[in-house]
């Protein structure tokens, strides 16, 4: 996707499920209170359910009658659904809120939850995703006579994924039969030079992986939105992703040494398995020599890439030139042969019958990388390069093979994520099917679990918070009137998408046609994966000569996240996030504003963060700022760069957060909480104060901030903290709480924090 298509989400994605630790006396007393509330609520619901009023109360009737479902939930009243029990369980009331609000809000949660062996981190977000996966399992596992074709295909794909006996019985054979299509893997075959060496060209080899399977090694060629003309698609050339999480890992010393060792061992193990399955002799020294050579090559490629903090300005990233100019500016020699950019490009695009002339415009995101790459590639042979490219393709497919192959990556997984067990097969499969057939799965999820009436409530919240954003522009002394006017125009032009696309429910033919070319077999999971890779890449490449569909959703419905797209100027709130603690029609409005309200403000603010501010109301990369306002924005932002950059994370070995890489998310968090709080104040002025929640000696201003904070309750394994601090554009959850609330005068006022206490520093940062 182009820079304008990059999705600014509210969190990254990870995995699930808790185990118990010993409870403290305080937790026991709180739990007894919660249990009493539960008993009362359940008793009342049971009495209501047994009352014979002539109304059908079967699960089928409830599903088809939102009002009846709402009425039964409402009958539980203020006992459970208002969130009091959840808030009490998660917090540590003995902690001092003005000293450490993370501990105050999440101390109870941290004591009750440990990270499952299958997870690299664990948080409230992960619990919600855990629960969503259970729903997906339920709706995917059983075929029904009424299933439309698209749904049938999703269920077949799921069953092929959980069919472990079939997968194990095939060993690595499905992969072995595919390798000749990508010039094989030299280390795992005999006489590679004689078989492939004479016909091998870098253009064909790199293009083959890209055009057929969407695998981008050495060069990242893709079709995406033209940032400066967002109604059109254009070819992009960028630096590739790496086999290890970030370029820092290739230092291979200190905290990264274990990961490097495990990575090379992973390569060797898979090469050994393939040679064994082929019946070829195994020379351990040769395997080690060749895979260490691959590591050296990948290390040089990593060092040639530009650091993330130097790629934050989309204006500087955008370098448009013709294909002929690329050939002149970035001549490469690979495997002893000159590299033809025209041949490479047409090798890829010929798979969708598109010819690319030398006059074709291309956007180059990484000119510095291409310049450095030239020297790197002259040091390595065709065999070295093919060993790397094939490995990176094979690496992604190991998890689709038999148990023996899966186990070869255990040490590597442990080094990167700290996990000692594989995710449950059904969970992995539910996520895989959701990721590849998001609209078919979204239909099943919505029908099973989404309360449609919440759409209208969230629409109203978006209207309120957008109005607050526009009103607060008047408060900004650093922005001039001309720029404020254009910011208002952009805010008003933001399009919202809530819940799910109506078509996935109402238009069976459209949904079936979306997956028309896919035909899965229940006993061929590997082939199904390859089919998905080809289908997805083919679909993306074809877009080059098509207009951008700005009405297209950038996310499926069964997702616990929220998104902003710069190129579409669109915010998306999938059905999966419209649930407690973020939102419920039955919980107090203070909790809704502190939950989904903050998320709405967060996503709106992404349109004006360090990346989004560079795009206009139509989604085009245009400088619409006066020079003075642009300079002032950078000054205001620098305050947050310093603030978050000064946080050191004990779980990551005391490393400091990267205030530059996390700037966009930090700006969005701070803007989101401020806008949501002001919107809640407006609600109270109009509707009056809400009733206090039972069992909590907190007013609703305090509850607003408490619910915001509890969204981010969670913790990480040290290995993943080291990974995340280099790769995640979001600050860790505890710092999202602390950093945002340190900058909030309203928070300090609500909790009566004295000046210069930890949570109420004298210096506060504000952009929006």
User: How confident is residue 743, by pLDDT bands cut at 50, 70 and 90?
Assistant: very high
pLDDT of residue 8: 66
Q: How confident is the model at residue 326 (pLDDT cuts 50, 70, 90)?
A: very high
pLDDT band at 82 (very low <50, low <70, confident <90, very high): low
User: What's the pLDDT tens digit per position in 132-158?
Assistant: 999 999 999 999 999 999 999 999 999
Mean pLDDT, residues 476-481 taken together: 98
- Euclidean distance between CA atoms 145 and 130, whole angstroms: 28
Q: pLDDT tens digits, residue range 520-562?
A: 999 999 999 999 999 999 999 999 999 999 999 999 999 999 9
What would the DSSP string read from start to end of 487-542? Answer: HHHHHHH-EEEEE--THHHH-HHHHHHHTTT----TT-HHHHHHHHHHHHHHHHHH
Residue 38 confidence (pLDDT): 46
Q: How confident is the model at residue 12 (pLDDT cuts 50, 70, 90)?
A: confident
* Nearest-angstrom CA–CA distance, 548 and 544: 9
Q: For the segment 593-634, what is each residue's pLDDT rounded down to a tens digit? A: 999 999 999 999 999 999 999 999 999 999 999 999 999 999
Query: Where is average pLDDT lowest: 163-177, 343-357, 476-490, 579-593?
Result: 579-593
User: Between these two residues, 40 and 717, which has the higher pLDDT value?
Assistant: 717
Separation between Cα atoms, residue 182 and residue 145, nearest integer Å: 41
Asked if residues 202 and 337 have their Cβ atoms less than 8 Å apart, the reply is yes
Active-site residue flag, 669? yes
> Cα angle at 72 between 67 and 74, to 5 degrees?
90
pLDDT band at 1 (very low <50, low <70, confident <90, very high): low
761 pLDDT above the threshold of 90: yes
Q: What DSSP line would sit under 278-338, residue for residue?
A: HT----HHHHHHHHHHHHHHHHHHHHHSPPGGGS--HHHH-EEEEHHHHHHHS--EETTEE
Give percent of the chain above pLDDT 90: 87
Q: How confident is the model at residue 7 (pLDDT cuts 50, 70, 90)?
A: low
CB 608 within 8 A of CB 487: yes
Does 96 participate in catalysis according to the annotation? no
Question: What does the alpha-carbon distance between residue 103 and residue 83 come to, in Å, rounded to a whole number?
Answer: 19
Annotated domain spans of the chain: 172-400
Query: Is cis: bond before 581, omega within 30 of 0?
Result: yes
* Residues 28-66: tens digit of each pLDDT: 344 444 444 444 443 433 333 333 333 222 222 222 222
- Kindly indicate whether the domain formed by 172-400 is annotated with CATH number 3.40.640.10: no
CB 314 within 8 A of CB 227: yes
Neighbouring residues of 675: CB distance < 8 A, sequence distance ≥ 6: 465, 468, 469, 472, 597, 600, 601, 604, 605, 768
Q: Taking the CA atoms of 235, 240, 245 and 248 in sequence, report the sign of the dihedral they define.
A: negative
Q: Residues in the chain, how many?
A: 768
Contacts of 214 (CB under 8 A, 6+ apart): 533, 536, 537, 540
SS (H, E, C) 677-724: HHHHHHHHHHHCCCCCCCCCCCCHHHHHHHHHHHCCCEEECHHHHHHH
Across 11-25, 482-496, 528-542, 655-669, least confident range: 11-25
Catalytic residue among 360, 610, 669, 719: 669
pTM of the model: 0.90
Residue partners of 144: CB distance under 8 A and separation at least 6: none
Q: Is the pLDDT of residue 351 over 70?
A: yes
Among the listed residues 603, 665, 719, 728, the single catalytic one is 603
Q: State the number of CA atoms in the 13 A half-sphere of 137 facing the CB.
A: 13
For residue 513, what pLDDT is reported? Answer: 98
């Amino acid at each position: 996707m182009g820079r304008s298509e990059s999705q600014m989400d509210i969190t990254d994605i990870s995995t699930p499920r808790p185990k118990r630790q010993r409870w403290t006396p305080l937790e026991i007393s709180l739990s007894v209170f919660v249990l009493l509330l539960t008993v009362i609520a359940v008793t009342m619901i049971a009495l209501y359910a047994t009352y014979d009023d002539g109304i059908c109360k079967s699960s089928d009737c409830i599903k088809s009658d939102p009002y009846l479902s709402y009425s039964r939930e409402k009958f539980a009243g203020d006992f459970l659904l208002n969130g009091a029990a959840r808030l009490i369980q998660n917090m540590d009331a003995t902690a001092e809120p003005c000293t450490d609000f993370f501990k105050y809000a999440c101390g109870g949660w941290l004591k009750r939850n440990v990270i499952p062996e299958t997870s690299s981190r664990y948080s409230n977000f992960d619990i919600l995703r855990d629960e969503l996966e259970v729903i997906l399992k339920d709706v995917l596992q059983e075929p029904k006579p009424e299933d439309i074709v698209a749904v049938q295909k999703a269920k077949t794909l799921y069953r092929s994924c959980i069919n472990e006996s079939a997968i194990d019985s095939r060993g690595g054979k499905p992969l072995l039969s595919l390798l000749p299509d990508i010039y094989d893997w030299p280390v795992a075959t005999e006489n590679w030079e004689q078989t492939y060496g004479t016909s091998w060209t870098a253009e064909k080899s790199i293009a083959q992986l890209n055009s057929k399977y969407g695998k981008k090694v050495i060069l990242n060629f893709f079709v995406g939105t033209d940032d400066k003309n967002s109604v059109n698609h254009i070819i992009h050339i960028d630096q590739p992703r790496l086999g290890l999480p970030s370029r820092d890992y290739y230092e291979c010393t200190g905290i990264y040494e274990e990961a490097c060792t495990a990575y090379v061992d992973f390569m060797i193990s898979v090469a050994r398995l393939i040679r064994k399955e082929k019946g070829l002799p195994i020379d351990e020294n040769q395997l080690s020599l060749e895979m260490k050579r691959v590591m050296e090559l990948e290390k040089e490629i990593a060092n040639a890439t530009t650091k993330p903090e130097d790629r934050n300005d989309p204006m500087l990233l955008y370098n448009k030139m013709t294909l002929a100019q690329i050939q002149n500016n970035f001549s490469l020699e690979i495997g002893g042969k000159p590299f033809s950019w025209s041949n490479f490009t047409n090798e890829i695009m010929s798979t969708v019958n598109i010819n690319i002339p030398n006059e074709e415009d291309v956007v180059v995101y990484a000119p510095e990388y291409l310049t450095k790459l030239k020297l790197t590639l002259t040091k390595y042979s065709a065999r070295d390069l093919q060993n790397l490219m094939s490995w990176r393709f094979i690496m992604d497919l190991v998890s689709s093979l038999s148990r023996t192959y899966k186990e070869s990556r255990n040490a590597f997984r442990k080094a990167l994520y700290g996990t000692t067990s594989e995710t449950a097969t059904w969970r992995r499969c539910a996520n895989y099917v959701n990721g590849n057939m998001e609209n078919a799965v979204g239909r099943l999820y919505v029908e099973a679990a989404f309360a449609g009436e919440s759409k209208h409530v969230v629409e109203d919240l978006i209207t309120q918070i957008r109005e607050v954003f526009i009103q607060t522009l008047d408060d900004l002394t650093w922005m001039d009137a001309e720029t404020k006017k254009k910011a208002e125009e952009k805010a008003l032009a933001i399009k919202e998408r809530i819940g799910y696309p109506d078509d996935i429910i109402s238009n069976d033919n459209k949904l079936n046609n979306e997956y028309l070319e896919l035909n899965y077999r229940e006993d061929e999971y590997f082939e199904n994966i390859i089919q998905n890779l080809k289908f997805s890449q083919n679909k993306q490449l074809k877009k080059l000569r098509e207009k951008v569909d700005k009405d297209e959703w950038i996310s499926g419905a069964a997702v616990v996240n929220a998104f902003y797209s710069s190129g579409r100027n669109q915010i998306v709130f999938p059905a999966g996030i419209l649930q407690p603690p973020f939102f419920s029609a039955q919980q107090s409005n203070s909790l809704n504003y502190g939950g989904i309200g903050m998320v709405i403000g967060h996503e709106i603010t992404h349109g004006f963060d360090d990346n989004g501010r560079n795009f206009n109301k139509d989604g085009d990369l245009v400088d619409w700022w006066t020079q003075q306002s642009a300079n002032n924005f950078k000054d205001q932002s620098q305050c947050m760069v310093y603030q978050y950059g000064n946080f050191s994370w004990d779980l990551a070995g005391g490393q400091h957060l990267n205030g530059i890489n996390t700037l966009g998310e930090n700006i969005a968090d701070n803007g989101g909480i401020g806008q949501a709080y002001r919107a809640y104040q407006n609600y109270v002025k109009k509707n009056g104060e809400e009733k206090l929640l039972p069992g909590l000696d907190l007013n609703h201003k305090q509850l607003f901030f408490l619910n915001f904070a509890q969204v981010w309750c969670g913790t990480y394994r040290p290995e993943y903290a080291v990974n995340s601090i280099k790769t995640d554009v979001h600050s860790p959850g505890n710092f999202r709480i602390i950093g945002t609330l340190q900058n909030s005068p309203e928070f300090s006022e609500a909790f009566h924090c004295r000046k210069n206490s930890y949570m109420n520093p004298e210096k506060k940062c504000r952009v929006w």
